[in-house]
A and B are shown apart, each in its own frame.
Chain A
Amino acid sequence: MKTQDIKKILLMGNPNVGKSAIFSRLTGAKVVISNYPGTTVEFTQGLMKIGDARPMIIDVPGTYTLDPTNKAEEVALQMLSGGDVVINVIDATNLERNLYLTLQLLEHNVPVVVALNVWDETAHKGIHIDVERLEKHLGVPVATTCGLTGEGIKEMVERISEAKAPKFHKHSDSHRWQRIGEIIEDVQKLTHHHHTLLQRLEDISIQPLSGLPLAAGVIFCAFWVVRFIGEGLINYVFEPLFDKLWLPLIMKVSPFLGSGTFLHNILIGKLVDGTVDFKQSFGLFTTGLFVPIAMVLPYIVSFYLILGLLEDFGYLPRLAVLVDNLMHRLGLHGYAIIPMILGLGCNVPGAMAIRLLEGRRERFIAATLMAVAVPCMAQIAMIVGVVGERGGRYVLIVFATLFIVFILKGLILNKVLKGASPEILTEIPPYRIPQPRAVFKKLWMRIYGFVREALPLVLAGILFVNILYALGVIDFMAKIFAPLMTKLWGLPQEAVAALIIGFLRKDVAVGMLAPLDLTTKQLVIGSTVLSIYFPCIATFVIFVKELGIKDMLKAALIMIGVATVVGSVLNLILT
């Protein structure tokens, strides 16, 4: 095949074999790479270079077979018909199982090149593969690669033009396995090798007696470190920056605009005791910058740093196995913990990862649980910042309430909804030492994503609040919702403004509780209700796409119902 004729190349392979790492090497594009099956749930495309040609290359979600068993795999199958060449990425440490998809691809009459990836790990695992003979068996080029270091990628690209579609007959399942057996017999030799330290650690973390305490320790440490780094950044970097540099500047501009004028209110906001209070003034250039940069960003940085390390190390699938039991009682299986953990960073990628779950019932439960009881890091940071001023235990009350809601709601949904939760079936990847460059690249992508997408929305939210106040809309809404607010939740009617903005950005909404002079109890109720009542607009859009409008309406009713009940109960029991 001439390279000029190649317009579209597909990267296909089993989950977690390193397709995204190779994709990122080929295109220079920035994509999220982790060490667990299902990192890529949607396809990503980019341009690569072969000689003078610039074909499009597509990173297809991982799939074990061409007979799809979940939504991510359906995506993979649909893509196949559009490709000129398939680069079939194979995990060399797992050859036999990976060859199943390879044979299916070869039967599909599409030109294939095989990238024998993770090649660097075969030696110390005691796996020897005769590449030339494998190539003869398959009838297509086979190149050894290491996506993480980039070794062999160039050679693989050079062989894309040799890609061909050998005339493989359609096989039955058992025939395919038989043939694979013959190939393996001929090309692969396994030798004994001693357990490495990492493998011993793998063992410790998957045995229940040692694994459960270890998981508790890992989770505790993770949160402790996230808080330590987050608070450190706030106290020693961002707050001083705002207080020492930004505040004097703003205070010089303030008299020119004239306190109380419309423009002053929008840009700088209200002065508190004659000066700007970054948490309460609510102007674009005060609270509008302070909330996303000095309150939320530090936590985003620290959370995604720790998450990235855990992802790349390969810990998350093990956690999924350990919590499988608990999750079953909530109508889910253990793997559902991964969307939830991603949701703690931002509900949007979390909601997208729900696609990994097999059944509609499971996806519905996972989505409603996430929307109600998994606050995103932006919101968590604001709760820590705003409620934390009244004492750490009140922050604990908010999160403990959300945790109880998560469990109770799961138990109830599992009882009420027809059907049973499917069982976990997942591969557990080996531990790998995270590569600093990869970790920081991923961290940078996620921070950049936050700044690009969240910062404008936060500013828009604050502008919107000021306009709504100026137009009297908030006062009007406050009167309408007063009974709900005051009678049920014990909140002042002005708090309705936070609920309105909560649709846009939850972090701004929590911030809006700060200037309201709330009692501690009201603050706790307000932040809890804000977490529960509805997802933010960005998450909502994803949910509609993933669940369909009908299920989303059902989910929305559940959310509003739960918020009403939880707010009222807190109002009754807290003093």
Chain B
Amino acid sequence: MIIDLTEMDAGELGVISEVQGGHDMARRLQSMGVRPGKRIKKVSSHFWRGPQTVEIDKAQVAIGFSMATKIFIEVQR
């Protein structure tokens, strides 16, 4: 099934299927390794719609909440 990044559980694995939002945002995310096809592991999500931290290619990235709602992940549940 496909869910957005904020809906992933901490520790869950998945594959990025789509990044929505403007061109600029997509490009910034891409340059940090967040782009369709990449394997992704959710590391943590912070309280009150806080940033979501993920691990891609053994590197960690923190992504703001509403940005994270535009990133869709294919997960096995």
**Contact surface of A with B, Cβ cutoff 8 Å:** 64-65, 67, 69, 93-94, 96-97, 100-101, 125-127, 173, 177, 181, 190, 202-203, 206-208, 211, 317, 320-322, 324-325, 333-334, 422-428, 430
A496 to B62, CA, bound (A): 47
> Can you name the residue of chain A whose Cβ is closest to the Cβ of B10?
A207
Main secondary structure of the interface of A (DSSP, over half): helix
Question: Are A428 and B61 neighbours in the complex by a CB distance under 8 Å?
Answer: yes
If A173-B27, A208-B50 are given as contacts, then 12 extra A-B residue pairs at C-beta distance below 8 Å, sorted by A number, are: A100-B31, A101-B31, A177-B30, A206-B53, A207-B44, A211-B44, A425-B61, A425-B64, A427-B32, A427-B61, A427-B62, A428-B53
Contact of B62 among A100, A126, A190, A424 (CB under 8 A): A424
Question: Are B31 and A64 neighbours in the complex by a CB distance under 8 Å?
Answer: yes
* Residues of chain B lying within 8 A (CB to CB) of residue A206: 43-44, 53, 60
A96 to B24, CA, bound (A): 20
Contact of B46 among A65, A97, A322, A425 (CB under 8 A): A322
| A373: min CB distance to chain B, Å | 23
Q: Which of B32, B51, B57 has the most CB of A within 10 A?
A: B51
> Can you name the residue of chain B whose Cβ is closest to the Cβ of A70?
B28
Size class of the B contact interface (CB-based, 8 Å): 20 to 34
* Residues of chain B lying within 8 A (CB to CB) of residue A324: 46, 50-51, 62, 64
| B37: min CB distance to chain A, Å | 8
| B34: min CB distance to chain A, Å | 9
Question: Are B44 and A425 neighbours in the complex by a CB distance under 8 Å?
Answer: no
Question: Are B46 and A321 neighbours in the complex by a CB distance under 8 Å?
Answer: yes
**Contact surface of B with A, Cβ cutoff 8 Å:** 10, 24, 27-33, 35, 37, 43-51, 53, 57-67
* Residues of chain A lying within 8 A (CB to CB) of residue B33: 94, 96-97
| A336: min CB distance to chain B, Å | 13
Question: Are A423 and B60 neighbours in the complex by a CB distance under 8 Å?
Answer: no
Question: Are A427 and B44 neighbours in the complex by a CB distance under 8 Å?
Answer: no
A36 to B32, CA, bound (A): 15
A422 to B10, CA, bound (A): 24
A69-B28, A207-B44, A425-B29 known; A97-B59 Cβ under 8 A: yes
A69 to B22, CA, bound (A): 13
* Residues of chain A lying within 8 A (CB to CB) of residue B37: 181
A3 to B44, CA, bound (A): 50
Question: Are A64 and B48 neighbours in the complex by a CB distance under 8 Å?
Answer: no
Question: Are A425 and B59 neighbours in the complex by a CB distance under 8 Å?
Answer: no
A422 to B27, CA, bound (A): 15
A466 to B58, CA, bound (A): 61
* Residues of chain A lying within 8 A (CB to CB) of residue B10: 207
> Can you name the residue of chain B whose Cβ is closest to the Cβ of A100?
B31
* Residues of chain A lying within 8 A (CB to CB) of residue B53: 206, 321, 428
A316 to B64, CA, bound (A): 17
Nearest 3 interchain pairs by C-beta: A423-B64, A64-B31, A428-B60
| A14: min CB distance to chain B, Å | 8
* Residues of chain B lying within 8 A (CB to CB) of residue A181: 37
A397 to B41, CA, bound (A): 45
Question: Are B48 and A325 neighbours in the complex by a CB distance under 8 Å?
Answer: yes
Question: Are A424 and B51 neighbours in the complex by a CB distance under 8 Å?
Answer: yes
Question: Are A423 and B31 neighbours in the complex by a CB distance under 8 Å?
Answer: no
* Residues of chain A lying within 8 A (CB to CB) of residue B49: 325
| B43: min CB distance to chain A, Å | 6
Contact of B28 among A64, A96, A126, A207 (CB under 8 A): A64
Question: Are A424 and B64 neighbours in the complex by a CB distance under 8 Å?
Answer: yes
Question: Are B30 and A203 neighbours in the complex by a CB distance under 8 Å?
Answer: no
Question: Are A321 and B51 neighbours in the complex by a CB distance under 8 Å?
Answer: yes
Please list 12 pairs of residues, one from A and one from B, whose beta carbons are closer than 8 Å in the complex, sorted by A's number: A94-B59, A97-B57, A97-B59, A181-B37, A206-B44, A206-B60, A207-B43, A321-B50, A321-B62, A324-B50, A423-B63, A424-B51
